[in-house]
Amino acid sequence: MSEEQFSYPEKVDVQNCDKEPIHIIGKAQAHGVIVAANPKTFEVTQASENTLKFFGISHKDFLGISLEKLIGKLPVKRLQASIAEESGFAAEDLKINENNFVMLAHLSEDNLILDFEILGKTWNPTHFQQQLTSIINGLDTTNSIPTLCDRAAKLMKNIFGYDRVMVYRFDEEWNGEVVAEEKEEHLESWLDLHYPASDIPSQSRKLFLNHKVRIISDVNYEPVPIAPEISPVTNKPLDLSRSALRGVSPIHIEYLQNMKVGASLTAAIIVNGNLWGLVACHHYSAKFINYYQRETCKFLTQIFSNNISTIQTGIFNKKINENSELRQRIVEELKIEDSLAEGLAKTSVPFTSLIESGGGAVILDNEIKLFGKTPKEAEVLEIRDFLAQKDEVIFHTKNLKSQYPKAENYKKSASGILSFKLGRAEDNFIIWFRPEVAETVSWGGDPNNKVSYNEEKQRLSPRKSFEKWTEKLDGISHSWQDYDLETAKVFRENLNQFLLAKQKEEISRLNQNLEEVNKDLELFSYGISHDLRSPLRGINGFAQILKEDFSGDLPAEASETIDTILKSSNRMEGIIDDILSFSKITSGELEKEKFSTKKLLEELLSSFNIKINFPDTEVVIAENLHGTYGDRRMVFQLWSNLIGNALKYSQRAKTPKLEIGSISKDNREIFYIKDNGIGIAKNDQDKIFNVFSRASKNDFKGTGVGLSIVARIIEKHNGKIWIESEPGTGSTFFFYL
Ligand code: ADP
């Protein structure tokens, strides 16, 4: 049964009263007339069946008449203007059939709804003025919420004269508590009584947000039906959510009758857009207060609500300030610590004191530390597993066992928990524990037994007995406040920063180590290749002498051996050269400039002496080649290695061909060199940039260092190199700097 349902059900009981569609109740209260009219034609379409009593026109004759006939030309004009300008409707005082009325208009769906409320005796403006002043002064100078509530109750009683005025405050589960009361002496006090959430069902709470003051002028009234039931304009029952004369839920009436209440006034206390509580006034006989008095009441609750908000903000700020000092101290002391868990155990102010709690736990990298009053270590680890499944980074509950039944075993120390996840790991947590509140709460009714069964009427009704009933709050801790959550949030940021700083330190230490090792390695390879040169020159020189001066005296086998020595020492010299230039590139600084790529290539190609050394190879350089910005010496080396490879690995093609050019893509100038040589297999394409890594093995001469020099130069220029290659077809190397 949703709020949107079509018509008010015949039978509503406590089982479904949370869904009772009270906005389409189809009845008016008896102290006025509800009239619905077509907002275009101003013709009456529906009305409560008490028009004869108030207007002197029978209901039958009333339907279909024009509003003008009832209220006169000018008021209709004003209604028209309000509709056209969408400006909202002003209350209108009218005299009809010798009665004084206030007419309250509003639009609901496509109906114009008019409440004609009897005004009673006339209103004294000076009196009114005095009341407003007393409200402002009376509620002004306190910074305690209980005192403010007491004063509001007193003012309310003084101004409106109800027998009992209560200020009723909701908790986060919508259970209520009477926090202030002002009453006639002979009445029994209801101060401190608690009421289960079901007493004010959710849809009534929602209505209060729209319609802040609601009266029931006579609990024992005869509800006046609205006829016809279905609006001819919308083909639906009238939505009376905003009608002041809307009839009252029969369940609520029964509820009030059980308390012997004759009339009531309820005003919503709305703080920061949320229903904070209610001012509930009871009278033990019928009592009506008119529209203007209700406006005064609205004004009073408005001031009251604003003051609550101010006081709450003050408390929040004060708590946050106090905590912030403690927090800073903890964070400061942590700075010298290496491990967070160790550090938190040592601080002069324990972190658990940041938030009112019995104890706490730090669980970090499978290490656990407990502080103060907590469940046992194994139990806390189980709670950690429960928390790890939650999506929330910050989690809190004041009734852990309702979500995690095992917590029954340690509710004395951990009925409530507030926790947050720490760092990136899913199972690092900081937790605060709150013990069970060992208090006895007075309930206005037994929340476990909301309804009593009336055998006679065979229908459920709200509690017949309204006796004080007590329940021990089982497994419930004090509520976590917004400033507790805020403190947890900021503390979490602090600790995450701590962890991040430690990680950064660790990374930069590792980096430094790595840099040192690298430098050593460069020096070593530079030194070694340098030192190897002179003995190698010795070997080479003496082998040359042997060959030139003694080859005639030696057997052929010895001459061949000398040739092998010469070949090997030449190869070794090649390797040493390559290692030397690699270590130079690695350690060298960049000297960037702009230069012509074309000129560089011409210079380079002539040094290769292509016509003589590679007579069959055709080399094509694109016309519109881009210039280069980089270290010319290094870029020279880069091209030299790429061209050298392309020439070498395409030698065996039928008609070897090299193409060099550049393209622009995504704001980048990309150079390429394409050959029709042997190509490179897919799984070799990444490896060949490593030092000494070769894919072609022994078919071609080489050391496997050339491309690692290329990669290093590209890296130094923050560039990128990649290959497109097909074995047997050729390779294209692309790069940008
Ligand atoms: P190398 O001295 O062996 O040429 P490089 O580092 O210059 O050393 O190249 C590494 C490997 O990459 C080579 O051994 C070869 O297998 C492969 N390679 C490089 N350029 C080409 C190319 N243009 N065509 C085919 N294979 C290539």
User: What one-letter code names the amino acid at 374?
Assistant: T
Residue 283 Cα to ligand 1 midpoint, Å, equals 100
Same domain, 182 and 306: yes
Which of 118, 140, 159 is the last residue before a domain boundary? 118
Is the CB of 695 within 6 Å of ligand 1? yes
Strand order in the sheet with 224-227: 27-28, 224-227, 44-48, 32-37, 111-118, 99-108, 92-96
- The yes-or-no verdict on residue 126 having pLDDT over 80 is no
Is the CB of 212 within 6 Å of ligand 1? no
Rank 73-87, 195-209, 325-339 by mean pLDDT and report only the highest: 73-87
Task: List the structure tokens of 218.
Answer: 């006579």
Is the CB of 579 within 6 Å of ligand 1? no
User: What one-letter code names the amino acid at 286?
Assistant: A
CA distance 703 to 694: 8
Same domain, 144 and 293: yes
Same domain, 132 and 67: no
Examine residue 643 and state whether it is found in any structural domain, yes or no: yes
Min mean pLDDT across 116-120, 262-266, 531-535, 666-670 is at 531-535
Examine residue 223 and state whether it is found in any structural domain, yes or no: yes
Residue 725 has a pLDDT of: 93
User: What one-letter code names the amino acid at 130?
Assistant: Q
- The yes-or-no verdict on residue 418 having pLDDT over 70 is yes
DSSP SS3 for 695:
coil
Min mean pLDDT across 595-604, 655-664, 668-677, 688-697 is at 688-697
Nearest CA to ligand 1 atom 19: 645
Output 25 or 150, whichever has higher pLDDT.
150
Residue 304 has a pLDDT of: 92
Query: E strands, 109-235, where?
Result: 111-118, 164-170, 176-183, 193-195, 213-216, 224-227
User: What one-letter code names the amino acid at 164?
Assistant: R
CATH number of the domain within which 652 lies: 3.30.565.10
CA distance 31 to 24: 19
Which atom of ligand 1 is nearest the CA belonging to 709? 6
- Tally of domains within the chain: 3
Residue 455 has a pLDDT of: 37
pTM of the prediction?
0.60
Which of 118, 148, 169 is the last residue before a domain boundary? 118
The percent of residues in the chain predicted with pLDDT above 90, rounded, is 48
CA distance 79 to 531: 105
Residue tagged 């009114």 (tokens): 128
pLDDT digits (tens, 9 = 90+) for 486-506: 999 999 999 999 888 888 888
* H-run or E-run covering 278: strand 274-283
Query: E strands, 52-192, where?
Result: 92-96, 99-108, 111-118, 164-170, 176-183
- The yes-or-no verdict on residue 387 having pLDDT over 80 is yes
Spatial neighbors of 326 by CB under 8 A, at least 6 apart, are 349, 353, 354
Residue 444 has a pLDDT of: 62
How far CA 535 is from CA of 148, 539, 550, 558, 571, in Å, comes to 99, 6, 22, 22, 14
Residue 123 has a pLDDT of: 58
Min mean pLDDT across 1-5, 112-116, 221-225, 381-385 is at 1-5
Predicted confidence band of residue 373 (pLDDT cuts 50, 70, 90) = very high
The percent of residues in the chain predicted with pLDDT above 70, rounded, is 91
CATH number of the domain within which 170 lies: 3.30.450.40
Q: How far apart are the first and last CA of the chain?
A: 69
Same domain, 157 and 275: yes
Output 548 or 126, whichever has higher pLDDT.
548
Same domain, 164 and 62: no
Is the CB of 677 within 6 Å of ligand 1? yes
Mean pLDDT, range 335-357, rounded to an integer? 88
- The yes-or-no verdict on residue 696 having pLDDT over 80 is no
Residue 456 has a pLDDT of: 37
Residue 719 Cα to ligand 1 midpoint, Å, equals 20
Identify the domain containing residue 709 by its residue range: 588-736
Strand order in the sheet with 440-443: 213-216, 263-271, 274-283, 164-170, 176-183, 193-195, 440-443, 469-472
Same domain, 62 and 211: no
Which atom of ligand 1 is nearest the CA belonging to 673? 23
Mean pLDDT, range 552-579, rounded to an integer? 85
- The yes-or-no verdict on residue 454 having pLDDT over 80 is no
Examine residue 709 and state whether it is found in any structural domain, yes or no: yes
Of 548, 555, 671, nearest in space to 621 by CA: 671
Output 550 or 418, whichever has higher pLDDT.
418
Is the CB of 646 within 6 Å of ligand 1? yes
Residue 703 Cα to ligand 1 midpoint, Å, equals 9
How far CA 23 is from CA of 179, 207, 244, 466, in Å, comes to 29, 8, 11, 27
Residue 139 Cα to ligand 1 midpoint, Å, equals 88
Residue tagged 């005296």 (tokens): 553
- The yes-or-no verdict on residue 5 having pLDDT over 50 is no
Is the CB of 694 within 6 Å of ligand 1? yes
Is the CB of 704 within 6 Å of ligand 1? yes
Nearest CA to ligand 1 atom 7: 706
Examine residue 248 and state whether it is found in any structural domain, yes or no: yes
Which atom of ligand 1 is nearest the CA belonging to 679? 25
pLDDT digits (tens, 9 = 90+) for 9-65: 555 544 455 566 777 889 999 999 999 999 999 999 999 999 999 999 999 999 999
Examine residue 469 and state whether it is found in any structural domain, yes or no: no
Mean pLDDT, range 110-123, rounded to an integer? 84
Predicted confidence band of residue 209 (pLDDT cuts 50, 70, 90) = confident
How far CA 532 is from CA of 496, 567, 574, 704, in Å, comes to 53, 16, 12, 19
Predicted confidence band of residue 419 (pLDDT cuts 50, 70, 90) = very high
Is the CB of 649 within 6 Å of ligand 1? yes
CA distance 308 to 603: 85
Phi, psi of 593, rounded to the nearest 5 degrees: -155, 170
Is the CB of 675 within 6 Å of ligand 1? yes
- ∠ CA(155), CA(161), CA(165), 5° rounding? 60
Residue 610 has a pLDDT of: 87
Min mean pLDDT across 120-124, 268-272, 277-281, 639-643 is at 120-124
Is the CB of 731 within 6 Å of ligand 1? yes
Residue 64 has a pLDDT of: 94
Residue 611 has a pLDDT of: 87
Candidate from 707, 713, 725 with most ligand 1 atoms within 8 A of CB, to mutate: 707
- The yes-or-no verdict on residue 628 having pLDDT over 90 is yes
Predicted confidence band of residue 564 (pLDDT cuts 50, 70, 90) = confident
Spatial neighbors of 338 by CB under 8 A, at least 6 apart, are 502
Nearest CA to ligand 1 atom 12: 688
Nearest CA to ligand 1 atom 17: 695
Is the CB of 678 within 6 Å of ligand 1? yes
Which of 103, 118, 133 is the last residue before a domain boundary? 118
Residue 162 has a pLDDT of: 96
Output 102 or 516, whichever has higher pLDDT.
102
By residue count, the chain amounts to 737
Same domain, 159 and 258: yes
| Mean pLDDT computed over every residue of the chain | 86
Nearest CA to ligand 1 atom 16: 695
Nearest CA to ligand 1 atom 14: 694
Same domain, 45 and 101: yes
Of 40, 16, 36, nearest in space to 26 by CA: 36
Residue 622 Cα to ligand 1 midpoint, Å, equals 24
Residue 704 Cα to ligand 1 midpoint, Å, equals 7
- The yes-or-no verdict on residue 200 having pLDDT over 80 is no
pLDDT digits (tens, 9 = 90+) for 215-268: 999 999 899 999 999 999 899 999 998 899 999 888 888 888 888 899 999 999
Residue 636 has a pLDDT of: 92
Same domain, 94 and 107: yes
Is the CB of 656 within 6 Å of ligand 1? no
Nearest CA to ligand 1 atom 8: 704
Residue 287 has a pLDDT of: 92
- The yes-or-no verdict on residue 175 having pLDDT over 90 is no
